Amino acid sequence: MITEEKKKSTSEYAERRIAPRAPVDFRVELLEGPSGTVKNMSESGALIAFPNPLEPEKRYVRFLLPLRTLALRIDSVWSKEDKGTEEFIHGVRFTDLSGDNLLFIRESLENKPVIEGHEPPTQIKRFFYNALSLQWNPEKEIDWNAPLGIDDSLCRAMADILSPIIVGEYSAFHGIPPRILSFRDYEVKQYLAAQLVDETRHAEAFDLYLARIHGKKQYRKNLRNVHILRFFNELKKLDNMDEWIAGLYLTEIMSHVLLSAYAQNVKCRLTQHLFKLILSDEARHISFANYYLKEILKSASGEDRKNMAKIPGRILKLTEGMVHSYGESGKAFGIDPGSLFAKIKHEFDARFIKNVLREKSDAAG
Ligand SMILES: [Fe+2]
Ligand SMILES: [Fe+2]
Least confident of 38-52, 185-199, 232-246: 38-52
- Go through the chain and tell me how many residues it has: 365
Residue type, 285: H
Cα separation, 121 vs 336, whole angstroms: 44
Average pLDDT value for residue range 247-276: 92
Give the SS3 label for residue 44: coil
Give the SS3 label for residue 168: helix
Is the confidence at residue 19, as pLDDT, over 70? Answer: no
Radius of gyration of the chain measured on its C-alpha atoms: 21
Ligand 1 (ion): residues with CB under 5 Å are: 169, 199, 202
How many Cβ atoms are within 10 Å of 81's Cβ, its own excluded? Answer: 11
Bridge partners, residue 23, by sequence: 40
Distance between Cα 249 and ligand 2 center (Å): 8
Q: Residue 6: its pLDDT value, please?
A: 54
Distance between Cα 237 and ligand 2 center (Å): 19
Q: Residue 365: its pLDDT value, please?
A: 41
Distance between Cα 186 and ligand 1 center (Å): 22
Residue type, 155: C
Distance between Cα 188 and ligand 1 center (Å): 18
Distance between Cα 239 and ligand 2 center (Å): 19
Looking at the CA of 277, name the nearest ligand.
Answer: 1
Query: Nearest-5° angle of CA 79, CA 84, CA 86?
Result: 55
Average pLDDT value for residue range 227-234: 95
Q: Binning pLDDT at 50, 70 and 90, where does residue 80 land?
A: confident
Q: Binning pLDDT at 50, 70 and 90, where does residue 200 land?
A: very high
Distance between Cα 2 and ligand 1 center (Å): 53
Distance between Cα 215 and ligand 1 center (Å): 19
CATH topology of domain 123-356: Ribonucleotide Reductase, subunit A (1.10.620)
Measured between alpha carbons, how far is residue 97 from residues 94, 102, 103 in Å?
A: 6, 6, 10
Q: Tabulate helix, strand, coil % of the chain (nearest 5).
A: 60, 15, 25
Closest CA to 24 of 98, 141, 104, 97: 104
Distance between Cα 9 and ligand 2 center (Å): 42
Distance between Cα 58 and ligand 1 center (Å): 33
How many Cβ atoms are within 10 Å of 339's Cβ, its own excluded? Answer: 9
Average pLDDT value for residue range 195-201: 97
Most confident of 82-86, 105-109, 339-343: 339-343
The per-residue b/e assignment along 248-274, b for 16 or more CB within 10 angstroms, e otherwise, is bbbbbbbbbbbbbbbbeebebebbeeb
Cα separation, 293 vs 244, whole angstroms: 11
Is the confidence at residue 16, as pLDDT, over 70? Answer: no
Closest CA to 266 of 148, 144, 142, 145: 148
Average pLDDT value for residue range 287-298: 90
Alpha-carbon torsion 306, 196, 340, 221, what sign?
Answer: positive
Is the confidence at residue 2, as pLDDT, over 50? Answer: no
Distance between Cα 341 and ligand 2 center (Å): 19
Looking at the CA of 204, name the nearest ligand.
Answer: 1
Residue type, 129: Y
Give the SS3 label for residue 38: strand
Q: Binning pLDDT at 50, 70 and 90, where does residue 10 land?
A: low
Ligand 2 (ion): residues with CB under 5 Å are: 252, 282, 285
Distance between Cα 53 and ligand 1 center (Å): 33
Distance between Cα 248 and ligand 2 center (Å): 8
Distance between Cα 292 and ligand 2 center (Å): 15
Q: Binning pLDDT at 50, 70 and 90, where does residue 363 land?
A: very low
Q: Residue 15: its pLDDT value, please?
A: 56
Left, alpha or beta for 228 (phi > 0: left; psi -120 to 50: alpha)?
alpha
**What are the pLDDT digits (tens) for 40-67?**
887 788 888 888 888 777 788 888 776 5
Distance between Cα 180 and ligand 2 center (Å): 15
Kindly report the CATH number that applies to the domain delimited by 4-109.
2.40.10.220
Distance between Cα 16 and ligand 1 center (Å): 38
**What are the pLDDT digits (tens) for 111-167?**
678 888 888 888 899 889 888 888 899 999 999 999 998 999 999 999 999 999 999
Distance between Cα 202 and ligand 1 center (Å): 5
Domain ranges of the chain: 4-109, 123-356
Distance between Cα 237 and ligand 1 center (Å): 20
Distance between Cα 278 and ligand 1 center (Å): 7
Is the confidence at residue 12, as pLDDT, over 70? Answer: no
Task: Decide if 219 contacts 213 (C-beta within 8 A).
Answer: no
Most confident of 1-15, 45-59, 180-194, 264-278: 180-194
